[in-house]
Chain A
Amino acid sequence: AQSVTQLGSHVSVSEGALVLLRCNYSSSVPPYLFWYVQYPNQGLQLLLKYTTGATLVKGINGFEAEFKKSETSFHLTKPSAHMSDAAEYFCAAVDGGYQKVTFGTGTKLQVIP
């Protein structure tokens, strides 16, 4: 069964600093990969997705993620953190052909002014 691991349940960065949120998946077959963001009392919003093709994926709000098959990783980055980036971020994966999505445990990002 697919599993998704997010390293660090809480990450703090200063405003303007690099954001790096880590995600590793377990499948031997590269799955479809996603990053979602959740603001308090809201549902999940899709930040970006990797299905096939280019391994560097750009998403909304200046975020991007790189799929590295050799490392089974899909880390999320943003060059310069903004206060509005404070939220919880979820990495997710789905094995092709199914709609059952496996989520990581989430990383809460705190941005310090």
Chain B
Amino acid sequence: KAGVTQTPRYLIKTRGQQVTLSCSPISGHRSVSWYQQTPGQGLQFLFEYFSETQRNKGNFPGRFSGRQFSNSRSEMNVSTLELGDSALYLCASSLDADRGTGIQYFGAGTRLSVL
């Protein structure tokens, strides 16, 4: 069974641009969560999608948005990029039965560098 797949693995953008990151969950997983990992702030929860609906949201500005498609694949978008958005963005998926338990499986991440 394939794991969580995130594309692209590396991305370089400049300030003011926007970026879209993609996440394909494990087959059968309908919950997808996104996290930002930086050396200064550690791992911070961005949002969770389940059945195409955003269920939980972290404390990030509106420049960070996401969506989920009917096949459970998810995309995350960051508009008007700032230098501080440089980070590793991790996606995690979980089974319906595990929602609410925190049990989830992570992808390898997308490393975003903003210049």
Contacts and interface: CB of A to CB of B under 8 A. Distances in A.
Interface of A: 32, 34, 36, 41-46, 49, 51, 90, 92-94, 96-106
Given A42-B108, A43-B108, A100 B45 contact: yes
A45 B104 contact: no
Interface stretch (B13-21, B60-68, B76-84, B94-102): B94-102
Contacts of A32: 101-103
Q: Majority SS of interface residues in chain B?
A: strand
A43 B101 contact: no
Contact of A100 (B58, B90, B107): B58
A99 B107 contact: no
Nearest to B90: A43
Interface residues of B, number: 29
B43 A103 contact: yes
Interface of B: 4, 6, 31, 33, 35, 42-45, 48, 50, 55-56, 58, 90, 92, 94, 99-109, 111
Question: Which of B4, B55, B99, B100 neighbours the largest number of chain A CB atoms within 10 Å of its CB?
Answer: B100
Given A43-B90, A99-B56, 12 more contacts: A32-B103, A34-B103, A43-B92, A49-B102, A49-B103, A90-B43, A98-B56, A100-B45, A100-B56, A100-B58, A103-B35, A106-B42
Given A51-B101, A97-B100, A101-B102, A43 B45 contact: no
A94 B102 contact: yes
A94 B33 CA distance: 13
B78 to A, nearest CB: 19
B106 A44 contact: yes
A92 B35 CA distance: 13
Contacts of A42: 108-109
A46 B105 contact: yes
A49 B105 CA distance: 13
26 contacts: A32-B101, A32-B103, A34-B102, A34-B103, A36-B106, A42-B108, A44-B106, A46-B103, A49-B101, A49-B102, A94-B100, A96-B100, A98-B100, A99-B33, A99-B50, A99-B55, A99-B94, A99-B104, A100-B45, A101-B35, A101-B45, A103-B35, A103-B42, A103-B43, A104-B42, A106-B43
